[in-house]
Amino acid sequence: MVIGWSNQQRDDAGRDGAASPWKRIEEAQQEPRLPCLLVPQPAHAVLAGDLADALLDKAFGPLPPEIKQAILMHDTGWAMTDAAQIQHLRSETARAAKPVSFVANSPQESAEAWTASINSVERMSPAGGLIVSLHFTLLARQTEQRSFIAAERSRQRRLKAKCRDKGMEVARWVAALGFCDLLSLYLLCGFQNGAEFPLAHPSSPEAAGAPRAALKVEDDLLYFTPQIFHAGARIELDALRHPISGAGSPRTERLSWQIA
C-alpha cells in the first residue's frame, strides 16, 4: 500500500529539499498520519504507466505499447495484499488504525508480490516481463534478497533469448520504468517542493552520473526542466480516503496533475 496525501494535506516545511526523491518518499511513508489516502500499489503502477505514456521520445527513446503496458502493470502482484488491508481498515475495529505502507513489508512479502507481478506481465509480453524482472532485481539488491535475485537471473536468461533483437533498448526501457515508478510515488506523497530525478533507473549504478530532470510543483501543475513530457498532458488517480468521517462522506478523492 502506498500512503498518499493531497497537496493540501502535505506539509514540506522543515524538510531537506536537497534529499533524494526516494529518501523523502521513504521518510513520508514511514510516518503515516491521519487523515491520509490509500493507494493500492496496482493503482500507483497505473499512474506510472500514464506518466510513461506522456513521456517525450527524447527522455528514454520511443516506448512501444507493450512496454507502456508493462509499466502500467508492474505492481499487479500486490493486489490481494492491498485489498486485504483495505478490507481490514474498513472494519469497525480498525476504522481509525494507521495503514501499513509498502516500505514496512518484509523482504519475503515483497519477493512474493514481485514474482507474481513479473509472472503477470510475462504472460502478456516477454519483453515486458524482462524489464519488470530487471526492475525488481535492482530493488532486491538494496536488501540483498539473494534467492529472489538468483531465481530472476534464470528467468532473465530465458527472456533475453527471446528478446535478442531488442539490444540496448531493454536498458532504456528499464530506466523508463524506474523513473516513472519513482515519480509516481513522489507525486502521491503530495510534496510541494521540487526535486531532481535521474534519467536512469534510480537503483542502478548508472543513476549517480545520469542527467537529471528537475521538477517544480505549483499546486497541480508540474514543470520539468528539461521538458521531457508532452505539455498539457493530464494524469489522474482516484485514492481512498482514510478514515471515512461518517455515513455519506466521500470515500474517494481524485488526485490530478497537469504537465505545464
Rounded distance, CA 54 to CA 180, Å?
10
pLDDT tops 90 at residue 16:
no
- Contacts (Cβ under 8 Å, ≥6 apart) of 150: none
Classified as helix, coil or strand, 255 is strand
Q: Tell me: the pLDDT tens digits for 229-255? A: 999 999 999 999 999 877 778 899 999
Percent of the residues in the chain that have a pLDDT greater than 70, as a whole number: 95
Rounded distance, CA 158 to CA 162, Å?
7
pTM, 2 dp:
0.95
Longest dimension (CA), the chain: 57
Strand partners, 212: 198
pLDDT tops 50 at residue 14:
no
Q: Tell me: the pLDDT tens digits for 145-181? A: 999 999 999 999 999 999 987 777 999 999 999 999 9
Q: Rounded to whole angstroms, what are the CA distances from 143 to 98, 106, 149, 203?
A: 25, 10, 11, 12
Classified as helix, coil or strand, 250 is coil
Mean pLDDT of the chain: 93
Class of residue 159 by CB neighbours under 10 A (exposed 0-12, middle 13-18, buried 19+): buried
Which pLDDT score is estimated for 244? 87
- Specify the higher pLDDT residue, 168 or 206: 206
